[in-house]
Amino acid sequence: MALRRTPSRVLLTMMLVAVVAGCGLAAPGKAPSGPPTGATVPSHPVRLLGAAWQLTHPGPAHAIEGFADRVGVAPGEPVRLFVSTTAASFTATAFRIGDYPPTGGAQVWASGRQPGHKQPDAVVQQPRHTDVAPWQPSLTVPTAGWPPGDYLVRLDADTGAQQFVPLTVTTPDNTGRIVIVNAVTTWQAYNRWGGDSLYASRSGRFADRSRAVSFDRPYQAKDMEGAGDFLIFERPFVQFAERSGLPLGYATDVDLHADPHLLDGARAMVTLGHDEYWSQQMRDAATAGRDRGVNLAFLGGNEIYRHIRLEPSGLGPDRVEVDYKSFADDPISATDPAQATTQWRDPPDPRPESVLLGNFYQCNPADADMVAVDPGNWLLRGVVTDGQHLPGLVGNEYERVDLDVPTPRPIEVLFHSPVRCGGRADHADVTYYTTPSGAGVFSAGTQYWICGLEPGCRGQDSSATIDAITTRLLTSFAAGPAGREHPALDNLARLGITAAHR
């Protein structure tokens, strides 16, 4: 477990001034607005200038790529980069993603020129079809003085090819903070670097897919630029949340798995657009936090669907993600059935995601408008009207309230949106429920909520509406258990939502 202590504002500012001076960045400017009473200092107490962090030339496959030996590090902990390139040399530059106009990212560190070489091809570890990169480390990145946050380390080959390596610098103490959790286990589940993932295999046969995937390899470059799912499903929210000036904490879901005290003293936990793969430890930590009054916000669809466990690799703990997607096929089912990797909702011990989310995953692909049905709710009041459509914001995966499975009450449906998926008429539900601890739990029930924070999402623009609702949500969640001020008013009967209503 990382050392947990509250950093000094003065010390952190001095360290950042040194970093800024060393990188040729702007001098510190105005700090973000102060946190609520009892909170620790904001995540980035000095202002850096935005820098051109985006890739301009990804280059051909495997021209340059890399991975880090940690998915998350505490500030000041070094991290090793493993880089393979066809170029003679390369550089690495670290950018913090956040409220840095005009680009949304600030440079905090850059390496000197490094010798490049092509590292070996992937090795497939049997019998679980696990692809790993058997590489030697290329350089060590110091994180001294880096504020907690989400970082992209850009690799630039001397040929012009570029790729990212994502890295989370975690918050040592989340007291008083809204904790943003990067869903790296879901990023890795879909990662096909080397040819195999938890969904697909190099042979093309589903039966040959991986039963375990490793963090000891890059993320595939195609469509993801080496950054996992961060750019699509998480980046817009991180930049939005930092503009709010609210106190933020940062972690990965691997940290949530490893540290049962991660949410101690936190005001809220937020998971983002695609957070499908959860271990028992992750679920226990989130549930215990809720039951102590920590607010939860799930801003995606299809969360807590796959049950995983984590194992060590040669590079460290929790770097192998196991998921057989079948109770019977998982060898551990005979000795430790509670840790067998089936879907959370499936027998022999069904623990559906609705117990924590409120709503329940249904189907994909879907594409529909989001339709407001509860304009008097505190989140929607004065923002939407009854029956108002937000075009195209339901999809690609969605959830709804399903009283045929365990559902917390009271629960309030804010948007109840007609949708067709798999040839069947259905509804997608945005929900809010409250608990005896006072915690409020919000579930967007759609993967497009975070896309909706940006103008022009899916060819439409509901960003002002989604921004207003999300701002209200975060502001309330940052103040403490939201259910004390805003108890859920159960409206299922009014909407005709009953058991066995399919």
The pLDDT of residue 1 is 34
Please return the burial class of 269, using the count of CB atoms within 10 Å of its CB with bins 0-12, 13-18 and 19+.
buried
> pLDDT confidence of 222, banded at 50, 70, 90?
confident
Alpha helices in 190-315 (DSSP H): 230-233, 235-243, 253-258, 280-291
Please state at what angle helix 235-243 crosses helix 463-479, rounded to 10 degrees.
Answer: 60
pLDDT > 60? residue 354: yes
Cα separation, 305 vs 354, in Å, equals: 10
Provide the b/e sequence for 465-484 (b: ≥16 CB within 10 Å). Answer: bbbebbbbbbebbbbbbbbe
Judged against a pLDDT cut of 60, whether residue 41 lies above it is answered with no
Reply yes or no on whether the pLDDT at 492 is more than 60. Answer: yes
Check whether 24 has a pLDDT greater than 80: no
pLDDT tens digit sequence for 304-334: 999 999 999 999 999 999 999 999 999 999 9
Mean predicted confidence (pLDDT) in 59-70:
95
The band of 16, judged by pLDDT with boundaries at 50, 70 and 90, is: very low
Distant-in-sequence, close-in-space partners of 163: CB < 8 Å, separation ≥ 6: 55, 58, 59, 64, 65, 66, 154, 155, 218, 221, 225, 226
Q: Which residue has the higher pLDDT, 248 or 13?
A: 248
Q: Which residue has the tokens 């080959």?
A: 157
pLDDT score recorded for residue 166: 98
Q: What are the residues whose beta carbons fall under 8 Å from the beta carbon of 24, sequence distance 6 or more?
A: none
**DSSP state, residue 478:** H
Whole-structure pTM value: 0.90
Q: If pLDDT is split at 50, 70 and 90, which confidence band does 499 have?
A: confident
Element (H, E) at 476: helix 463-479
Give the largest CA-CA distance in the chain.
67
Q: Give CA–CA dist 199/188, Å, rounded.
A: 11
* pLDDT at residue 188 in the model: 97
| 3.40.50.1010, 3.40.50.300, 3.30.365.10, 2.60.40.10: CATH of 9-258 | 2.60.40.10
CA distance 278 to 309: 8
Split at pLDDT 50, 70, 90, the class of 167 is very high
Residues 121 and 104: their CA atoms lie apart, in Å, by 35
* 257 pLDDT above the threshold of 60: yes
3-state secondary structure of 40: coil
Considering the chain, what is the average pLDDT of its residues?
A: 90
Give the start-to-end residue ranges of the domains of the chain. 9-258, 354-495
Q: Where is pLDDT greater, at 30 or 449? A: 449
Sorted by sequence, the CB contacts under 8 Å of residue 368 that are 6+ apart come out as: 392, 394, 395, 417, 418, 419, 420, 428
pLDDT in tens, 231-256: 999 999 999 999 999 999 999 999 99
Report whether pLDDT(195) > 80: yes
| Best CA proximity match to 336, nearest among 311, 368, 370 | 311
pLDDT higher than 80, residue 40: no
Three-state secondary structure string covering 359-408: CEEEECCCCEEEEECCCCCCCCCCCCCCCCEEEEEECCCEEECCCCCCCC
What tens digit of pLDDT does each residue of 452-473 get?
Answer: 999 999 999 999 999 999 999 9
* Residue 10 pLDDT greater than 90, yes or no: no
Q: Does residue 500 have a pLDDT over 90?
A: no
